[in-house]
Amino acid sequence: MTGAGEILLRAEGLRKSFGGVQAVRDISLDITGGTVFAVIGPNGAGKSTLLNLMSGIYQPDAGKLTFSGVDMIGMPSHRRVRHGLARTFQKIRLFKQLSVLENVLAGFHLHHQIPPWQYILHGAAFRRDRERCRDDAANLLAFVGLKPRAHVPAGSLSYGEQRMLEVARALATAPRLLMIDEPAAGLNAAEVEALLGRIVALRARGMTVVMVEHNMDLVMRIADRILVMDYGQHLFEGTPADVQAHPGVIAAYLGAEVR
């Protein structure tokens, strides 16, 4: 894994408006490779919009965005995946009719090693590729604890399992930076612990993780840096300890929970 310790993703002055609402106003950030970067803030603070700007679902009205030095502005989301940006969705978007395994297999889209003619006449290279994908998918499913569920339809998984499957599917694209949007939403305490363990394991492998999350306990325990947003604006950025000590943050956001 490259990029540990250096700036992997850089945003400068990102702006996005919907109608008259400024969802993201002038956000700048630097995300260091191999770290967990959390974005927190009250509902409607623009966290998910920021993630959508980074993953290419939306294009910003203004600002710069580079990923390992490559300009991302104007690049559609499917192209950004090639550069190593992957994401999960806040509102789960699995292929519900397909099996758990098939969901992960779809994630290998960019990584097949099959000569074009073997798509029509399946040969040795084709079979090797299929086997490799199945093995890799099985490993990813084992990583998120879903291996025993490989052959059930994705739609029949529990909510927590579906969130973990989204993570496995995103990892299949072999990203350098994984964006996860509210991964702990709807998870019970045991599932949150499992999720935390997985994120820590990913970081240990050198993966960069950007996480939008409401679960303060989770964020404070694993984030290296935290960006606090309010009304689309940058309110504060720092380590978990800095954030917990910052009076403005406590007033705007944590206050309600700490009380």
Partner 1 sequence: MSIVTSRRFWLVVAAIVIGLLPAIFTDSYWRTNLIVCAINVLLAIGLDFVLGYAGQLNLGQSAFYGIGAYASTLLITQVGVPFWVAFVAGVLLAGVAGVFLSVFAVRLRGHYLAIASLGFAVITYQVLLNWISLTQGPLGIYGIAPPPPFAIPGLPPIEFSNLASLFYLTAGFAFLVYLLLDQLVRSPVGETLTAIREDEVSAASLGVNGQKWKVFAFAVSSAVAGAGGCFYASFVGTLVPDAFFITESFSILAMVIVGGMGTLIGPVLGAILLTVLPELLRGIGDLRLIVYGVSVTLVVLFMPGGLVQAARLVAARVRRPAKVGRDP
169 binds partner 1 (CB under 8 A): yes
177 binds partner 1 (CB under 8 A): no
Counting every residue written for the chain, the total comes to 259
95 binds partner 1 (CB under 8 A): yes
127 binds partner 1 (CB under 8 A): no
Span from 11-19, 64-72, 92-100, 206-214 in contact with partner 1 (CB under 8 A): 92-100
36 binds partner 1 (CB under 8 A): no
* Of 98, 138, 220, 254, the one binding partner 1 by CB under 8 A: 98
Span from 20-28, 119-127, 222-230, 248-256 in contact with partner 1 (CB under 8 A): 119-127
3-state helix, strand, coil in the chain (%, to 5): 40, 25, 30
Q: How far is the CB of 67 from partner 1 (least distance, A)?
A: 14
Q: Are strands 62-67 and 177-181 parallel, antiparallel or unpaired?
A: unpaired
Q: How far is Cα 67 from Cα 256, in angstroms, rounded to an integer?
A: 35
Nearest residue to 10 (alpha-carbon basis) of 91, 64, 73: 64
Span from 15-23, 98-106, 139-147, 193-201 in contact with partner 1 (CB under 8 A): 98-106
Half-sphere CA count of 111, side-chain side, radius 13 A: 21
Whether the CA torsion 146, 149, 151, 156 is positive or negative: it is: negative
Q: How far is Cα 133 from Cα 103, in angstroms, rounded to an integer?
A: 12
Q: Are strands 7-18 and 177-181 parallel, antiparallel or unpaired?
A: unpaired
107 binds partner 1 (CB under 8 A): yes
216 binds partner 1 (CB under 8 A): no
Nearest residue to 193 (alpha-carbon basis) of 203, 206, 183: 183
What is the chain's Cα-based Rg?
19
As given in the structure block, the two tokens for residue 201 are 């394991």
Span from 64-72, 76-84, 234-242, 247-255 in contact with partner 1 (CB under 8 A): 76-84
172 binds partner 1 (CB under 8 A): yes
75 binds partner 1 (CB under 8 A): no
114 binds partner 1 (CB under 8 A): yes
109 binds partner 1 (CB under 8 A): yes
CA distances from 180 to 4, 19, 149, 250 (A): 19, 26, 22, 24
Number of residues binding to partner 1, judged by CB under 8 A = 38
Span from 7-15, 16-24, 97-105, 212-220 in contact with partner 1 (CB under 8 A): 97-105
183 binds partner 1 (CB under 8 A): no
Residues lying near partner 1 in the complex (CB under 8 A): 55, 57, 76-79, 81-82, 86-87, 89, 93-98, 102, 105-110, 112, 114, 118-122, 126, 129, 133, 169-170, 172-173
